[in-house]
Amino acid sequence: MDELTDAAADGHLHKLESFLQRPQDPDLVDHEGDTALFRASMQGHTDVVRLLLEARADVDKAPKVGGTPLFEASDFGHAETVRILLQARANVETVEVLSGCTAFLRASVHGHSEIVNLLLEARANPG
Protein backbone atom coordinates (compact mmCIF):
# COMPACT_ATOMS: atom_id res chain seq x y z
CA MET A 1 0.00 0.00 0.00
CA ASP A 2 1.71 3.16 -1.21
CA GLU A 3 0.01 5.44 1.35
CA LEU A 4 1.62 3.58 4.23
CA THR A 5 5.09 3.28 2.69
CA ASP A 6 5.08 6.87 1.41
CA ALA A 7 4.23 8.18 4.89
CA ALA A 8 7.05 6.07 6.36
CA ALA A 9 9.59 7.14 3.73
CA ASP A 10 8.71 10.81 4.23
CA GLY A 11 8.83 10.57 8.03
CA HIS A 12 5.18 11.58 8.47
CA LEU A 13 4.73 10.14 11.95
CA HIS A 14 1.25 11.57 12.61
CA LYS A 15 -0.10 10.38 9.27
CA LEU A 16 1.31 6.93 9.95
CA GLU A 17 -0.15 6.88 13.48
CA SER A 18 -3.56 7.73 12.05
CA PHE A 19 -3.24 5.05 9.40
CA LEU A 20 -2.20 2.39 11.92
CA GLN A 21 -5.10 3.18 14.28
CA ARG A 22 -7.30 1.35 11.80
CA PRO A 23 -6.78 -2.41 11.76
CA GLN A 24 -3.86 -2.62 9.31
CA ASP A 25 -1.06 -5.01 8.59
CA PRO A 26 2.13 -2.95 9.11
CA ASP A 27 3.89 -5.24 6.61
CA LEU A 28 1.73 -4.30 3.61
CA VAL A 29 3.87 -3.75 0.53
CA ASP A 30 3.67 -0.96 -2.01
CA HIS A 31 3.78 -1.26 -5.81
CA GLU A 32 7.58 -1.72 -5.62
CA GLY A 33 7.31 -4.50 -3.03
CA ASP A 34 8.68 -2.37 -0.17
CA THR A 35 7.33 -2.33 3.38
CA ALA A 36 6.96 0.80 5.47
CA LEU A 37 9.69 -0.40 7.85
CA PHE A 38 12.07 -0.94 4.93
CA ARG A 39 11.45 2.60 3.62
CA ALA A 40 11.65 4.26 7.06
CA SER A 41 14.89 2.41 7.86
CA MET A 42 16.45 3.46 4.57
CA GLN A 43 15.69 7.11 5.39
CA GLY A 44 16.70 6.89 9.07
CA HIS A 45 13.30 7.96 10.44
CA THR A 46 13.77 6.59 13.95
CA ASP A 47 10.37 7.62 15.35
CA VAL A 48 8.63 5.96 12.42
CA VAL A 49 10.77 2.82 12.82
CA ARG A 50 9.82 2.63 16.51
CA LEU A 51 6.13 3.10 15.73
CA LEU A 52 6.15 0.38 13.09
CA LEU A 53 7.95 -2.05 15.38
CA GLU A 54 5.41 -1.30 18.13
CA ALA A 55 2.71 -2.13 15.54
CA ARG A 56 4.48 -5.50 15.11
CA ALA A 57 6.09 -4.92 11.73
CA ASP A 58 8.39 -7.80 10.76
CA VAL A 59 11.90 -6.55 11.56
CA ASP A 60 13.47 -8.89 8.98
CA LYS A 61 11.03 -8.61 6.07
CA ALA A 62 12.86 -7.71 2.88
CA PRO A 63 11.41 -6.71 -0.50
CA LYS A 64 11.93 -8.86 -3.58
CA VAL A 65 14.83 -6.61 -4.54
CA GLY A 66 16.88 -5.15 -1.72
CA GLY A 67 17.91 -5.91 1.80
CA THR A 68 16.25 -6.07 5.16
CA PRO A 69 15.57 -2.89 7.11
CA LEU A 70 18.82 -3.53 9.04
CA PHE A 71 20.78 -3.88 5.79
CA GLU A 72 19.38 -0.61 4.42
CA ALA A 73 19.94 1.36 7.63
CA SER A 74 23.51 0.01 7.78
CA ASP A 75 24.13 0.79 4.11
CA PHE A 76 22.92 4.40 4.46
CA GLY A 77 24.71 5.06 7.76
CA HIS A 78 21.74 5.45 10.11
CA ALA A 79 23.31 4.32 13.40
CA GLU A 80 20.34 5.09 15.66
CA THR A 81 18.03 3.19 13.33
CA VAL A 82 20.44 0.25 13.38
CA ARG A 83 20.44 0.37 17.18
CA ILE A 84 16.62 0.27 17.29
CA LEU A 85 16.44 -2.62 14.81
CA LEU A 86 19.03 -4.59 16.76
CA GLN A 87 17.04 -4.05 19.97
CA ALA A 88 14.07 -5.54 18.09
CA ARG A 89 16.27 -8.59 17.39
CA ALA A 90 16.94 -8.04 13.69
CA ASN A 91 18.92 -10.89 12.15
CA VAL A 92 22.49 -9.64 11.67
CA GLU A 93 23.43 -12.48 9.31
CA THR A 94 20.79 -12.01 6.61
CA VAL A 95 22.36 -11.74 3.16
CA GLU A 96 21.00 -9.20 0.66
CA VAL A 97 19.96 -11.00 -2.51
CA LEU A 98 21.51 -8.79 -5.20
CA SER A 99 24.89 -8.04 -3.65
CA GLY A 100 25.38 -11.14 -1.53
CA CYS A 101 26.41 -8.85 1.34
CA THR A 102 25.41 -8.67 4.99
CA ALA A 103 24.67 -5.45 6.86
CA PHE A 104 28.14 -5.72 8.45
CA LEU A 105 29.88 -5.80 5.07
CA ARG A 106 27.90 -2.84 3.71
CA ALA A 107 28.59 -0.75 6.81
CA SER A 108 32.28 -1.67 6.55
CA VAL A 109 32.52 -0.81 2.85
CA HIS A 110 30.99 2.62 3.48
CA GLY A 111 33.15 3.33 6.53
CA HIS A 112 30.25 3.48 9.00
CA SER A 113 32.41 2.56 12.01
CA GLU A 114 29.74 3.18 14.65
CA ILE A 115 27.42 0.77 12.84
CA VAL A 116 30.21 -1.78 12.40
CA ASN A 117 30.75 -1.69 16.17
CA LEU A 118 27.01 -2.04 16.86
CA LEU A 119 26.82 -5.05 14.56
CA LEU A 120 29.89 -6.65 16.14
CA GLU A 121 28.34 -6.16 19.59
CA ALA A 122 25.24 -7.93 18.22
CA ARG A 123 27.52 -10.82 17.20
CA ALA A 124 27.65 -10.21 13.47
CA ASN A 125 30.15 -12.46 11.71
CA PRO A 126 32.92 -10.22 10.32
CA GLY A 127 34.18 -12.97 8.01
d(CA 69, CA 55): 15
Residue range 56-109, pLDDT digits in tens: 999 999 998 889 999 999 999 999 999 999 999 999 999 998 899 999 999 999
d(CA 114, CA 23): 37
d(CA 27, CA 57): 6
d(CA 13, CA 96): 28
Residue range 2-33, pLDDT digits in tens: 889 999 999 999 999 998 888 889 999 999 99
Q: How far does CA 89 lie from the centroid of its chain?
A: 12
CATH of the domain spanning 2-121? 1.25.40.20
